[in-house]
Amino acid sequence: MKKTLIFLSLITVVVFGMSTANNNAHAQYQNTLGRRNFLLTSYDKENYTEFTIRDNVIYAVGKYAVSAPLDVYFSGGTMTGYQKSLNAKLDGSFTATLSGVLVDGNTRIAIRLPSTEPQALDEYLLYRIEYNNGWFFGDNSLAEKGERALESALDIPPEITAVYIDYNSDVDVIRDTLNEVRDIAQTITEGITDDYQKAKALSSWVSENIYYDEDASEGVLSGANTSLVEVLKTKRTVCGGYAGLYAALLEAVGINALVLNGGVVSNNGVAGQTCSYEELPFITLAHEFNAFWYDKENRWVYDDVGWNSDNSYSGGNYIKNNRTIKYFDITPLAFSFDHRIDSAQSRKYFEVLQEQNDEVLEEPPTPQETAEERSDEVLQEQRDEISEERIHEPLHGSDFETADEEGGETFHENEDEELLIYYVIAAVLAGLVIVVAVMLWKKFLF
């Protein structure tokens, strides 16, 4: 009995040591974040929430077209003094408050909306929030980096864009596919005059009618899985197919669109990879999504039609699920909670077939050989530019302070390398704790 108690005590020490190391690493990361007391979730006036933090209380006000929220609450973490309130109205508008102290773990604010599909689960909009001597929304600087990527979008040559339409670059197939894309886009947007509303309608159509191909994502992917002709034929694809189809539909109605490449927060990523919020600035977990230009307001609009869709294809079965509106016109700060933009591509699908000879260049290189290579060159130029900025502007210096534009608070930013070193040290300390525990266990039990 005594040996058992000793063993359990050692396990407790190990768990406590590892938890302490992780908490210290997270606290160190929090010190690199800008502290924001305000978050607007979307610029879409029909679907948004404004969060404001005052005196450690989170105030929410917003509106959703489908319905006012059924609940607004903290999701995850251990809380003390937790209180919440919600006042929902029939027109979809609402107000809510949240308060409490986060004593352990991470948490997010969850907005629960009723399902729009029969027998489907309710919709949950989740937004990361930090607690370190008070609540704040963390700014990891990825929003600004993403804007720079959009400014240096890569123009994809017609011979490469052709492969994104049909993997074999067959002229007849390309012509028929583009005609189908144009017909779909014109049918969906018929009677709509505003580009923003056109894009919104097209976004909804893609998310509702295309299914995420889990079988393909877990197997061997090829360009054929994401080509326009295959996506329209099978109604299933992965993120690249979602982004490509949406960009083509937007172009068909005269809207300038980009395909964005970058990383995402994921618990079950490609080939079993995972990426946490803390790792998002450093780890590459490939993902594709979109931005389109809204000329009326002179700005880029972010969207991720793949993540807006919960439809899935698995084991040969199409599974219809709910669609979320979270990522349509999501604000840069909210987007940076789970998306990182590395590069942007401008593909002119409807310029592939030249008016003069109506043919595609022969023997085009594959997207892997050319498009990704050119994207890597742009990405390297962006990283060099960022490195140059760090040399001349001490924005990431450990002793540099800057004021929050909204809250007036200050924060420190450390170099990425310094943070990585801290994580390594934390991991080593956790390992030492385990080694010591094992040695003591062997000594007392044997």
pTM over 0.85: no
Does the pLDDT at position 400 exceed 50? no
Does the pLDDT at position 376 exceed 70? no
Does the pLDDT at position 312 exceed 50? yes
Does the pLDDT at position 216 exceed 70? yes
Q: Which residues contact 57 (CB under 8 A, 6 or more apart)?
A: 97, 98, 99
* Residue 213: strand pairing partners: 313
* Residue 231: strand pairing partners: none
Structure tokens at 128: 């990361």
- Mean pLDDT for 280-295 is 89
For residue 28, the model assigns a pLDDT of 57
pLDDT tens digit sequence for 323-360 = 889 999 999 999 999 999 999 999 999 999 874 355 44
Does the pLDDT at position 391 exceed 60? no
Give the pLDDT band (50/70/90) at residue 273: low
Does the pLDDT at position 152 exceed 80? yes
Give the pLDDT band (50/70/90) at residue 396: very low
Rama region for 399: left / alpha / beta (φ>0; ψ in -120 to 50; rest): alpha
- Mean pLDDT for 279-290 is 85
- Mean pLDDT for 249-260 is 98
CA end-to-end span of the chain? 14
- Residue whose tokens read 């393909």: 216
Does the pLDDT at position 77 exceed 80? yes
Q: How many Cα atoms are found within 13 Å in the side-chain-facing hemisphere of 116?
A: 17
* pLDDT mean across residues, the chain: 79
Separation between Cα atoms, residue 395 and residue 402, nearest integer Å? 8
Amino acid identity for residue 204 in this structure = S
Does the pLDDT at position 132 exceed 50? yes
More confident residue, 6 or 407: 6
Q: How many Cα atoms are found within 13 Å in the side-chain-facing hemisphere of 81?
A: 7
Q: How far is it between the farthest Cα atoms of the chain?
A: 89
For residue 429, the model assigns a pLDDT of 60
SS (H, E, C) the chain: CHHHHHHHHHHHHHHHHHHHHHHHHHHHHHCCCEEECEEECECCCCEEEEEEEECCEEEEEEEECCCCCCEEEEECCEEEEEEEEEEECCCCEEEEEEEEEEEECCEEEEEEECCCCCCCCCEEEEEEEEECCCEEEEECCHHHHHHHHHHCCEECCHHHHHHHHCCCCCHHHHHHHHHHHHHHHHHHCCCCCCHHHHHHHHHHHHHHHCEEEHHHHHCCCCHHHHCHHHHHHHCEECHHHHHHHHHHHHHHCCCCEEEEEEEECECCCHHHCCECCCCCCCCCCEEEEEEEEECCCCEEEEECHHHHECCEEECCEEECCCECCCCCCECHHHHCCCEEEEEEEECCHHHCCCCCCCCCCCCCCCCCCCHHHHHHHHHHHHHHHHHHHHHHCCCCCCCCEEECCCCCCEEECCCHHHHHHHHHHHHHHHHHHHHHHHHHHHHHHC
More confident residue, 116 or 256: 256
- How far is CA 156 from each of CA 131, 316, 351, rounded to the nearest angstrom? 43, 34, 11
φ/ψ (deg, to 5) at 137: -95, 130
